[in-house]
Amino acid sequence: MPPPLQAEPRWQPLPLRAAGIAAIAGAIGGTALIGGACAVGWIVLDLPLRWYGAAGMLVLGGLIGAGFGFRRQRRTYWRLDEAGLGMRRDLMWQLETHVPISRVQHLDLRRGPIERGARLATLVVHTAGSRFSAVTLSGLDAADAEHLRDTLAHQLDRDDDAL
């Protein structure tokens, strides 16, 4: 049986290793999208140092993507209270999501090969509804993800027994 919840739980950050993986993914995306578009523009416009400038744009795109990926993971928080699961993300726009226990249908844990290697997991909370009916929290420490799943499942079972 999971331990009892705190009266006023605090927001928990995601582990730093999740931010590292997000930075790598962001660097790949930034290189392909931002850097690729700028590099093509540099070559088409025939700007000075044509190939060096294009290579520089690819590197710059990768750095921008890595920065956004890293910062996005570092600015994502979660908390679990007696009412349900909360998630907060504030990169440029602030997003706060709260999933009440009464809306939870079932819970999934996903672990891809990279997540398994970094001891991370993704918690998917399926909620009642047809559209956008799942809340996904990726980059969780594997032990935290299992604890969240077990605690939410236990609370859900307890609420179902009360009906």
d(CA 89, CA 74): 9
Its domain, for residue 25, covers 17-72
d(CA 59, CA 69): 15
Instruction: Evaluate whether residue 5 is within a structural domain.
Output: no
Nearest to 105 by CA among 34, 153, 39: 153
d(CA 150, CA 159): 14
113-160, pLDDT tens digit by residue? 999 999 999 999 998 876 778 889 999 999 999 999 998 888 777 766
DSSP 3-state of 104: strand
Last residue of a domain, one of 55, 72, 89: 72
Total domains in the chain come to 2
For residue 98, the domain's CATH number is: 2.30.29.30
User: pTM for the complete prediction?
Assistant: 0.80
pLDDT recorded at residue 18: 96
pLDDT recorded at residue 62: 97
Which stretch, 5-9, 79-83, 107-111, has highest mean pLDDT? 107-111
